Amino acid sequence: MKTDVEELTPTRVKLTVEVPFDELKPNLDKAYKEISQQVRIKGFRPGKVPAPLIDKYVGRGAVLQEAVNDALPELYGRAVEESEIFVLGQPDVEVTELEDGTQFAFTAEVDIRPKFEVPDYDGLEVVVDDAEVTDEQIEETLGNLRERFASLTTAERAVEEGDFATVDLVATIDGERVEDASTSGYSYEVGSKSAIEGLDDALVGLAAGEDATFTGALVGGEHAGEDAEITATVQSVKVKNLPDLDDEFAQLASEFDTIDELRDDVRTRLGRQVKAQQLSDARDKALEALLEKIDIPLPDKVVDEEIGRRNQQLEQQLQMAGMSKEDYLKDEEKSEEDFDNDVANAARLAVKGGFVLDQLAVQEELNVENEELSEYVVSQAMQMGVQPQQLAEYLTQNNQLPAIVSEVLRTKALNLVVEHVVVKDESGNVIDVEAVQRELNGETVQAESDAADETDAAEAVDETDEAAETEETAETGETAETGETAETGETAETGETAETGETAEAAEDAAETATDEPAAAEAKDAQDKDA
């Protein structure tokens, strides 16, 4: 087999492959056998039809086409391997010559990762925020804790902002009731603006038994976006009572006896959080600093796919949050054009970051051990709420291991960069990243079940050793995927609806990587069915 490589652009090549016809013999034999099983010719059992009769009744051309289709994947793979190129995505293949008994040739155009070397990164300097915990942060945290232990008492007065009103809602369009937009006994925090627009203004000033009608656009259901006449009837008015920040509250809300002990614990926990945030920022900024030293072309198709993936992820998250894209852009005070530019820039940075980390893994001869795969699976399973064994089986069955190996390799490559940069806080203090990491790890207590889960995952991953070992060079060509999801806020134990947090971090995080969310959802569904 002869392969010529023509560089169309720095990120796209054309392979011209010439194959001696006799190399197709195994594929021709296989084609005859499969067609023999399908045709029905009098006097011959299925699978026993001779080749000459197949040529006569089916046609030699059909056999050649079957053989070529069967041979192309392997021949293309050999051509890529011999050419020592890092391909991205699927090729555009065209058969250019097929002369029965003499010659077979084809071309394949495909995107490739640009060839480059990662420059020296030792001594790069990055600056992160100070690991400061303020009194305001402590009081805010305690305030959120008080909210969780709040109680409601009935108030014999009209509704005021901040009250919890139990209401019946009836929505009508052109006089007809909209069932999926009507409800009864709905507990709503007045002033939270977490329901249909106009409800807050309508409720203020109403006493129990009174009602008000207003016009508002429905946010869900069959008539989403349509204006409806909505009648809100107040059943009861309740006032939220927050417990005092005293020793009694500390004993109720924690394992501590005094409020001072609880406050000290909050300060310690917040301190660990800001240090963990420092490490996260150090990783992001270390990669950003490295990327600034490298200028490489990016394949348009790969960037476009990343943009599409991010937009799809945003759409899913907005649906989960019950928001439209228009509402999101309004909240973010962004135009459609600005948002698209932000997504495109983030996508390009993510693709570039993936390329750089992949190349660094190759240069530094990094590899992935089975123990590291096990740890990764356990960690992801805990975040997804599924059993490690079940996630490992899903990844294996759906051929996701190459992507996981690539993910772990990129993480190791980024860790290597962080080890060689100088990290300072805004006050000018040098941060010992390894010491901070050890401190955080030392304060993390793992349950015995975690160890058992890791053992289960290790056994599952061990079954795929051979597949994993073939992918240790990070040559998967897949861009890093973000895995952010909308966060759900906590509420007081009063039946109120939870507040929804940010939904579009995917458009802002440049090179953060994570496992595929649909994989998590399907694995979780499988676990639920088993249960």
What's the pLDDT at 33? 86
| Pure H helices in 421-516 | 433-442, 448-462, 465-469
Residue 438, amino acid: R
* Pairing state between β 422-425 and 125-128: parallel
Mean pLDDT by 10 residues, the chain (531 residues): 91 93 89 83 78 82 89 93 90 90 90 93 92 93 93 93 94 91 92 90 94 90 88 94 94 94 95 93 94 94 94 91 85 92 95 95 92 89 90 87 90 93 93 89 50 45 43 36 32 32 34 36 42 36
Which 8-state DSSP code applies to residue 479? Answer: P
What's the pLDDT at 141? 95
Query: Bridge partners of 234?
Result: 167
What's the pLDDT at 497? 31
CA distances from 487 to 272, 316, 505 (A): 20, 13, 11
Q: Which CB contacts under 8 angstroms, 24+ apart, belong to 363-367?
A: 363/117, 363/118, 364/413, 364/416, 366/409, 366/412, 366/413, 366/416, 366/474, 367/409, 367/472
Residue with tokens 């940069």: 421
What is the Cα gyration radius of the chain? Answer: 31
Q: Strand, coil or helix: what is 130?
A: coil
What's the pLDDT at 258? 96
What's the pLDDT at 529? 40
Of the candidates 160, 178, 126, the one whose C-alpha atom is nearest the C-alpha of residue 289 is 126
For residue range 131-148, list pLDDT tens digits in order. 899 999 999 999 999 999
CA 425 to chain centre: 30
DSSP string, 510-531: SS-----HHHHHHHHHHHHHH-
Which 8-state DSSP code applies to residue 57? Answer: I
Contact yes or no for 163/237 (Cβ under 8 A): yes
